[in-house]
Amino acid sequence: MTTPSPRTATVLIHDEEEGPGLLGPALRRAGFTLDVRSRAPTPEDTEADLVVVMGRSVGGSEAEPSSLLEEERRLLARRLEAGRPSLGIGTGARLLAAAAGARVHPGEKGPVMGVHPVSLTLEGLSDPLFAGFEEFFDILHWQGDTFESVPGAQLLASTARYPQQVFRVGNSYGVQFHPEVDGAMLERWIRASPDDVARVGLGAEELLKREGPRLARVQQHAMLLMERLASYFAKQVGAGGGERFLFTVESIHRLAGRGVLLSPGIPRRTPIVRVGQSISLKRPDGSRVEGTVRGMASFGETGAAIPLLVLLDAPDAEVPAGSEALTSAPLTV
């Protein structure tokens, strides 16, 4: 069996508060090493294995130096022409849309900040990236600009206010909302952006108090989306060798024998594990407990995720909260 070659994901950010967030660990698990750079695209990035352009802005495209954004747009255009994969998130999605020929402009319906629903299009419902997702699901938004339909692209997700949310063009994806953001990153964004926060009529503490708990509730879907994007791009460039993240254990309920119920478990209706599949539980100290999936618990408290029933190899092994459930099985993307 041939071992996949290591691949590099070049991640371009615009501010110190930004970063790959949840996408970083997902890319590493998929077999990438990360080259994270702030405001520093280079001509050599045209040939990079993967380019990820990130960014947040609700204050209009003039919030970034036009020369930098134009340089990144040209980079993405060259990669599209060459058939090399790219991922745009937030500002990066708008730059990818512009690189493909779409018109980018300030949003006429005002800024959107916080957790709000998106809806999948018919194409989105059939795209492996969203397999098992509900037609409507909540995710974090931080948006002030938007763009028109992207020539040659499939629109996968929309909102009523700004229809262009996720698109696929060639072997690249653009994601307008922000699944990469965790609670700590959201707090940094809010505290570093008083002018942006003021545009939605709230103070920083008020917005954080409202949106922090909402973000925690939607983190499972966001993390799964990051894993699927990372897996997709790994297949595009021949990366591999990493593990697939399933979820972070929040609580454990012991059953008779070796059985345990792990919560929050996998997102509902999402076929990402099978009965009989091996699973590894990586504890916060780095040690591991191995086990086998025996089923999904459909009873108990309803929610976005289903507890996972696992038989542990070591019956008395401790699985503390914060442990990560991992598997080496391939994704369907």
Token code pair at residue 116: 């709000």
Token code pair at residue 35: 């080259």
CA distance 257 to 182: 36
CA diameter of the chain: 64
Classify 244-327 by CATH class: mainly beta
Contact 220, 164 (CB under 8 A): no
> In this predicted model, what pLDDT tens digit does every residue of 234-277 receive, in sequence order?
999 988 766 677 888 888 889 888 888 888 777 655 556 778 88
CA distance 63 to 55: 11
Sequence-distant (6+) residues with CB within 8 A of 304 are 217, 218, 220, 221, 264, 267, 268
Q: Residue 9's CB: how many other CB atoms inside 10 A?
A: 28
Strand pairing report for 251-254 and 278-282: unpaired
Contact 114, 161 (CB under 8 A): no
> In this predicted model, what pLDDT tens digit does every residue of 136-176 receive, in sequence order?
999 999 999 999 999 999 999 999 999 999 999 999 999 99
> In this predicted model, what pLDDT tens digit does every residue of 65-98 receive, in sequence order?
588 899 999 999 999 999 999 999 999 999 999 9
Sequence-distant (6+) residues with CB within 8 A of 199 are 58, 59, 110, 111, 144
First CA to last CA distance, the chain: 22
CA distance 139 to 160: 14
Per the listing, tokens 């745009």 go with: 88
CA distance 51 to 54: 10
- Cis omega before residue 264 (within 30°)? yes
CA distance 136 to 12: 30
Contact 52, 232 (CB under 8 A): no
pLDDT of residue 62: 44
- Strand segments, DSSP code E, in the chain are 7-13, 32-38, 50-53, 86-89, 104-106, 112-120, 136-143, 145-147, 154-158, 166-169, 172-175, 244-248, 251-254, 259-267, 278-282, 288-296, 305-312, 324-327
Token code pair at residue 152: 């040659």
CA distance 166 to 96: 11
Q: Tally the C-alpha atoms within 13 A of residue 23's C-alpha that lie toward its C-beta.
A: 29
pLDDT of residue 331: 47
pLDDT of residue 18: 86
- pTM for this entry: 0.82
H-only helix segments in 52-121 = 66-82, 91-99
Q: How confident is the model at residue 305 (pLDDT cuts 50, 70, 90)?
A: confident
pLDDT of residue 1: 38
> What percent of the chain lies above the pLDDT cut of 90?
56
Per the listing, tokens 């699927």 go with: 228
User: Which of 16-20, 177-181, 183-187 is predicted least confidently?
Assistant: 16-20
Output DSSP code: residue 172: E
**What is the rounded average pLDDT for all residues in the chain?**
87
Q: What is the mean pLDDT of residues 55-61?
A: 67
One-letter amino acid for residue 283 of the chain: R
> In this predicted model, what pLDDT tens digit does every residue of 15-57 receive, in sequence order?
877 889 999 989 988 889 999 999 889 999 999 999 999 998 7
Q: Which CATH superfamily is domain 7-237 in?
A: Class I glutamine amidotransferase (GATase) domain (3.40.50.880)
Question: Any idea where the domains of the chain sit in the sequence?
Answer: 7-237, 244-327
CA distance 97 to 79: 13
